[in-house]
Structure 1
Amino acid sequence: MENESREKFDWSKFTIRTPINASAKEVFRAWTSQEELEKWFLRLAEFSNSEGLIRNKNERIEAGDTYKWRWHGYPDSVEEFGEILELNEKDFLKFSFGKAGIVSIKLTEQEGRTFIELTQEDIPHYKTTEENYHVGCKTGWTFYLANLNSVIQGGLDLRNKDRNLQMD
């Protein structure tokens, strides 16, 4: 019975929806430049435009940009590469997330809060990716969205920045 329900589970996507106590404009800005992403998400968030030129840290990203990302707690050899697929000026961003699929960020305002709806889809479906991409990414995104909420409200940055405590 357990095996049967595991096989019926849709490992190809997940959605997380969480409130952030800030305006949609402020939350959207946190996703759209190297400078802002490095405050709450990444150690390095380098973007290149469609001509291959590296964007300035505070320059806003655009559809067609490519990226190189590195995380705190991991060596430089752990990098993610992808492309900004779509974005508008206020509440939607979509990007490829390396081999782990496509991530969409949609913002809505409700009762003085901004809700982030993060969907990761097109997750490859074979035994080795079920935990790495579905469970691992969902766990990671849950942490980083909580960290975004903390940082954007002037709270603590919860990331491990100690270079002596790195994951492999």
Structure 2
Amino acid sequence: MEKLSFDSFTKKIYINTTKEKLYWCWATPEGICSWFLRKAEYFSPEGEQRSKKDSMQTGDSYIWEWHNWDDQEKGQVIRTNGTDFLEISFTDSKVSVHIESQGNACLLTLKQYDIPTDEQSSLNIHYGCSNGWTFWLANLKAYLEHGILLNETERDLRNIPLVGFEFVNL
């Protein structure tokens, strides 16, 4: 067993869907906005914006915006294979997503790593993102298996001081 530490974490979930659908949910602006984001844009290394239906490519950059959060996350697509793996820079760390077919389901493995281990990063990135990804992966499962979203899009929660640490469906 790997030792637990504050520089990385792994989250896994089985989802009853196809590898192609699951990859679409992560790799395209249209897909990732269907369950996770308010807005997503991907740009080629030359700065050209990809269409909402186009998959991210290695070397691309991205801008993500969430419901109930005013800031943007900007990062780089480090690696993608177009079918079952992608890796991005994310909040001063890296995130990889691996999709593996297992019978009539897929095992999705998300790993966030290279997290700085200072106290602020341990709180905001390790604790915050670990909790966040747990919810978002459950939201993805609910969306793909039952056609429902669990995240809050009808109420504006942005003025609540600890919203990101207290609300489970941000």
State the superposition RMSD in angstroms. 1.5
Deviates more, 1:152-161 or 1:135-144: 152-161
Structure 1 residues 73 and 115, CA gap change in structure 2 (3 angstroms) = same
Structure 1 residue 92: Cα displacement: 0.6
Using structure 2 for the length normalisation, give the TM-score.
0.87
Note if 1:132 corresponds to 2:127. Answer: no
Query: Alignment partner of 1:153: what SS?
Result: helix
Correspondence for 1:90: 83
Q: Which has the larger radius of gyration?
A: 1
Using the alignment, how far apart are the partners of 2:120 and 2:156 within structure 1?
29
Tell me how far 1:162 sits from its aligned partner: 2.7
Q: Specify the alignment match of 2:133 in structure 1.
A: 141
Cα shift at 1:74: 1.2
For structure 2, the residue ranges without an aligned partner over 5 or more in a row are 162-170
Question: 20-29 or 150-159, which moves further after superposition?
Answer: 150-159
Counterpart residue identity of residue 96, structure 1:
S
Tell me, yes or no, if structure 1 residue 155 matches structure 2 residue 150.
Answer: no
The match for 2:166 is none
Task: Measure how far apart 1:163 and its partner are.
Answer: 5.2
**Structure 2 equivalent of residue 50 of structure 1:** 45
How far apart, in 1, do the equivalents of 2:114 and 2:76 lie?
15
Compared CA separation, residues 10 and 48, structure 1 to 2 (3 A): same
Partners of 2:145 and 2:109 in 1: CA distance: 19
User: In 1, are the aligned partners of 2:63 and 2:75 still within 8 Å (CA)?
Assistant: yes
In structure 2, give the amino acid aligned to 1:60.
S
For the pair 1:35 / 2:30, whether they are aligned, the reply is yes
CA distance 1:35–1:119, shift in 2 (3 Å): same
TM-score (norm 1): 0.88
CA distance in structure 2 between the partners assigned to 1:89 and 1:9 by the alignment: 30
Residues 55 and 82 in structure 2, CA contact (< 8 A), matched pair in contact too: no
